Amino acid sequence: MAPRSPLIARPASGPARPARRAAVTLLSLLSLPSLMGASGVALDVLTTSGAPGTAVARAAAHRAGTERVSSVLGLGDSVPAGSGCDCDGFVALVGQGLARSQGTRVRDANLAVPGLTSEGLLDLLDDDTVRTAVADADLTIITIGANDFDPALAEEEACGPRLACHQDALARLRTGVDAVLAKVRALRGPGGRVVLTGYWNVFLDGAAGRARGPAYVAGSDRLTVAVNGALAASAAAAGALYADLYTAFKGPDGGRDVTGLLADDGDHPAASGHALIAETVLAVLADADADADAAPQR
C-alpha cells in the first residue's frame, strides 16, 4: 500500500509515519459553507435513521425504563468515516438499530475524519462545531488510535514480542485517548453515553495482511492486542463503554479469517464489517442497559 499523509501534523517530537487512512483536509470538513446550517451543525452529515434495521437490530432490544437515544455522533478516523465502502457506515447503522428498537427517530451525525490520530481528535474537539455536536449527542461512538502507529514497523524483528519499537507510541496513545475521553465527558456534561471501540487490526488484515508475510501478520496482531488493551483501559478509567471489535471480527481464539468483512484494501470494513461493528456496539449498549435495569434502586 502506498504511504498516505496524515491529516493533522504531529509535533516534531512525534514519530514519523504514513497515515493508515486516506484523508481529506480537516479544514474542508469544518469550513465548507455547504456543510453548515444556522445552528452550526454539519447538515450534510446529519441524517435521520428510521429505516428497518438489518441483523444489528436484534442486539438493540430496548428495555423499559432505559433512557432513550435521540442522537448519535461518530468521531475518529476512517473506520467510522466509512472509507473504502460505498455503504451505510456503522454509525448510521447504530442509529437505525436504535430507531427501530425504540420506535422513535434517531439522528446520526458523523464527524469522523480519515487519517485522524488521537492527537488530532483532541485538537478537533476544540472546534466549535464539534463541541456543539458532542454536547448535543446522547451517544458518542469513537474509534481512534490506529493512525498513531507506523505500519512500516510491523515487520521489524527488532520490535520483538515486547513491542519495543512501539512502546513510546503506546504510551502516547493512552495519554491522548484519556485526554479525548475527558474532554468529551466535560463537553457532554451529565447524561449521555460514550462507546470507545477497539480494532480487529491496526494495520492490514485478512488476505491483504497475509500477503505481507508471517512476520507482518504476527507483528500487527501483537500491536493490535496492545492497542486494544490501552483503549479498553482508557474506557474503563473514564467510565465509557468499550466495544471489543477484535473478538467480534476474529472470534474468541483470534483465528477467524476476516477477509470477507473487509474492503478490497484489507484495511477498512466492507458493508458486512460495518454491520458487525454496529451489532457489537448495540450489544454493548444493550448489556449496559440490562445492568442498569438490574441494579438496585437507591
pLDDT in tens, the chain (298 residues): 333 333 333 333 333 333 444 433 343 344 332 222 222 333 223 333 333 333 343 334 333 335 689 999 999 999 999 999 999 999 999 999 999 999 999 999 999 999 999 999 999 999 999 999 999 999 999 999 999 999 989 888 888 888 999 999 999 999 999 999 999 999 988 778 999 999 999 999 999 999 999 999 999 999 999 999 999 999 999 999 999 999 999 999 999 999 999 999 999 999 999 999 999 999 999 999 887 777 676 5
Instruction: Name 177's Cβ contacts closer than 8 Å, sequence gap at least 6.
Output: 118, 144, 145, 196, 230, 231, 234
Q: Do 23 and 7 contact (CB within 8 A), yes or no?
A: yes
State the cell numbers at 18.
Answer: 504514513
Distance CA 183, CA 140 (A): 12
Distance CA 207, CA 155 (A): 16
Paired with 76 in beta bridges are 143
Q: Is the pTM of this model over 0.85?
A: no
Amino acid at 145: G
* Domain annotation for the chain: domains and CATH numbers: 37-290 (3.40.50.1110)
Handedness of CA 57, 62, 68, 74 (dihedral sign): negative
Cell 499523509: give the residue: 5
